Amino acid sequence: MEYEIEEKSAPGREKVEVLGATYEAGKPDGEGLGRWRQKLSSREEKLKYLRAGERYWYGKDWYGSEKRKNPA
């Protein structure tokens, strides 16, 4: 893989070499992509999955990884 090197100006210097994008572009593929309903067998499992997601994002007693423990 060849890396893209860009030249940019930096404060206090003239030109600096900066490494560009180092990832390979693409899309995830697979037959089961986005099919969470088929992965869960019973209705109760599906409801449990949805309740856990709502509790994570909208519950007051739960602290999601993006939320603060003590509200500001």
Owning domain of residue 52 = 42-72
Residue 33 falls inside a structural domain: no
pLDDT score of 17 more than 80? yes
Residue 2 falls inside a structural domain: no
What pLDDT sits at residue 20?
Answer: 84
Tokens linked to 71: 């509200």
Residue 1 falls inside a structural domain: no
Backbone angles phi, psi at 15, to 5 degrees: -125, 145
Name the helix (H) or strand (E) containing 8.
strand 5-9
Residue 32 falls inside a structural domain: no
What pLDDT sits at residue 55?
Answer: 74
Count of structural domains within the chain: 1
The arithmetic mean of pLDDT across residues 39-63, rounded, is 80
